[in-house]
Amino acid sequence: MIEIENVRKSFGPLEVLKGIDLTVEKGEVLTVIGGSGSGKSTLLTCINGLEPIDTGRILVDGTHVHAKSTDINKLRCKIGIVFQQFNAFPHLTVLENVTLAPRKVKKMGRAEAEEIAIKQLNHVGLGEKRDVYPSRLSGGQQQRMAIARALAMSPDYMLFDEVTSALDPQLVGEVLDTLKMLADDGMTMILVTHEMSFARDVSDRVAFFHKGVMAEIGPPEQIFGDPQNEETRQFLSNVR
């Protein structure tokens, strides 16, 4: 599980996480919502150690993410992350993009890496695209490739940061379907999204972030149906 304890994080004078406490259980789907600049992306990059924190601690399966003694590369193998903008390697095929990290980071042999990659590409519906270059994929297909690439590392946790925000509206559904499938498979995930009806449908809990504070957390029925916090209420009345 992921345990976040009193985490504070500043960029210069700007405190963007103001004492976050949050536990995500194995198998849980947690959605993080909130306005622009509320600290959602920073939270995700702190969880996988891309960003240092100022105080508090983050534990993933009991391992301190930010401790000096932690093998951060090993820990990152456990935590897949997919961003809004996926930068595929344009000179590598889809299959080569997906096998790259298992081969380089996990030192896997080609045959084994390809077997895993093909399984994951099939899983996200891209099995037939394995030999094309990323530029030939639609935005939705590129995001599904990014998901397959992360899954090829066999992560225990997946973090998704607005993975549909840059997509044309007609391509959003196919990526959300892929996330839903992962959730149904029991993947532990934290996803930042503005797709509120999707969040309502897929989440075990929803956390609302406001100016670096987790202002409210609860089941989707509470957050979307009966928010307890005034800021949550205002945010949701503006996005709908």
Judge whether 75 and 64 are in contact, CB under 8 Å: no
In the bound state with Mg ion, the residue whose beta carbon lies nearer, of 162 and 231, is 162
Scanning residues 30 to 59, which ones bind ligand ADP (CB under 6 A)?
34, 36-42
Provide the Cα torsion 19, 25, 28, 34; round to 10°: 0
Q: Is 164 in the site for ligand ADP (CB under 6 A)?
A: no
Residue (of 40, 57, 59) closest to 215 by Cα position = 40
Residue 218 binding partner per list Mg ion, ligand ADP, none, with a CB distance cut-off of 5 to 8 Å that depends on partner kind: none
**Would you give the end-to-end CA distance of the chain in angstroms?**
32
Q: Is 129 in the site for ligand ADP (CB under 6 A)?
A: no
In the bound state with ligand ADP, the residue whose beta carbon lies nearer, of 11 and 111, is 11
Stretch 13-32: interaction string toward ligand ADP, x if CB under 6 A: -x-x----------------
Residues 6+ apart with CB under 8 A from 11: none
Distance, in Å, from the CA atom of 214 to the CA atom of 198, rounded to the nearest integer, reads 20
Q: Is 164 in the site for Mg ion (CB under 5 A)?
A: no
Distance, in Å, from the CA atom of 57 to the CA atom of 9, rounded to the nearest integer, reads 11
Residue 107 binding partner per list Mg ion, ligand ADP, none, with a CB distance cut-off of 5 to 8 Å that depends on partner kind: none
Residue (of 118, 126, 86, 91) closest to 102 by Cα position = 118
In the bound state with ligand ADP, the residue whose beta carbon lies nearer, of 34 and 220, is 34
Q: How far is the CB of 214 from ligand ADP (least distance, A)?
A: 12
Using the 8-state DSSP alphabet, how is residue 221 labeled? Answer: I
Residue 144 binding partner per list Mg ion, ligand ADP, none, with a CB distance cut-off of 5 to 8 Å that depends on partner kind: none
Q: Is 41 in the site for Mg ion (CB under 5 A)?
A: yes
Which residues contact ligand ADP (rule: CB under 6 A)?
Answer: 11, 14, 16, 34, 36-42
Residues in the site for Mg ion, rule: CB under 5 A? 40-41
